[in-house]
Amino acid sequence: MRLGGVPSRKTRVLALRYLGAAALTLFFLFPVYWLFMISFKTPDEIYHVPPLWVPSHIQFSNYYVLFKDGDVWAIANSMIVAGVSSFFAIILGTLCAYSLARFNTGGDNLAMWIISQRMIPPIAVVFPIFLVYVYFGLVDGFFGLVLLYTAFNLPYVIWMMRGYIVDVPLELEESALVDGLSRWDVIWKVVFPMVRPGLVATSVFTFVFAWNDFIFALVLTRTEVITFPVQLTHYFGGQSNFWAKIAAMSVLGTLPIFVAVTMMQRYLVRGISLGAVKG
């Protein structure tokens, strides 16, 4: 029963929930907001006490410096390394996954063994890999990083894509085989379109892994192929930190991921939930 203007218990609980959700959202979004704001502030405003919530006017000089000094090449390097390695990991991984899913390659345990490779802590292997890379002259080049990220992402791609492929009704493939397609055509024209949401979701994750990797990039590059996370660390000095550069670079480094996730959100949600049950 409702009395006068007193909201019902249900309404009050709902209001509390929204309030809680709003508070949490603010809490988590604040650092992102702060990052963006710093990137638009002048040095005076950055160190202003009390802190300024909004800069007096939006100015892009922090970004301009990054472009002028050529620091943004790090972003381009990251794009190339993450993009190319994701592409190869997805193509190779999906083919491997198809083989595991449809021909039961390696019996029941190979898939598990493959994913276990992904669980190795990078720090445990980075120095042996460094020595090997030095021996083969792969240090500080695109090829070395692309090779490494492809190798590191493969198990993940195989594991994820295997789950998606198993879900594709076998009859679709058989029907295509009878209709006149070769096995390769079937993979290209039937399996790929069917697993597209999974493919997109997996690609985003592999891209993000390569994009965010710090430890390998730090050890395996020197001056030529510096990636975005490594470049960022150059702004942390013993004496002082270049907050303006850190913020502007971080924003630039976040944008590609932000764009990718936004554009592919439709697939991502479906892709993630598709793979959720099957493993």
Residues that bind other proteins (CB under 8 A): 169, 171-172, 174-182, 185, 190, 193-194, 196
CA-CA distance, 171 to 250, in Å (whole number)? 48
Shortest distance in whole angstroms from residue 199 CB to other proteins: 13
Nearer Cβ to other proteins (182/262):
182
Nearer Cβ to other proteins (157/176):
176
| 177 close to 183: Cβ distance less than 8 angstroms | yes
Q: What are the start-end ranges of the H helices in 52-189?
A: 61-68, 73-103, 110-117, 122-136, 142-166, 170-179, 183-186
Shortest distance in whole angstroms from residue 268 CB to other proteins: 18
Nearer Cβ to other proteins (118/270):
270
Shortest distance in whole angstroms from residue 33 CB to other proteins: 40
DSSP state of 7: P
Nearest to 251 by CA among 50, 75, 117: 75
| 90 close to 203: Cβ distance less than 8 angstroms | yes
Nearer Cβ to other proteins (48/183):
183
Q: How many CA atoms lie within 13 A of 106 on its CB side?
A: 12
Nearer Cβ to other proteins (170/261):
170
Which residues are 241's β-sheet partners?
A: 236
Shortest distance in whole angstroms from residue 102 CB to other proteins: 12
Shortest distance in whole angstroms from residue 154 CB to other proteins: 27
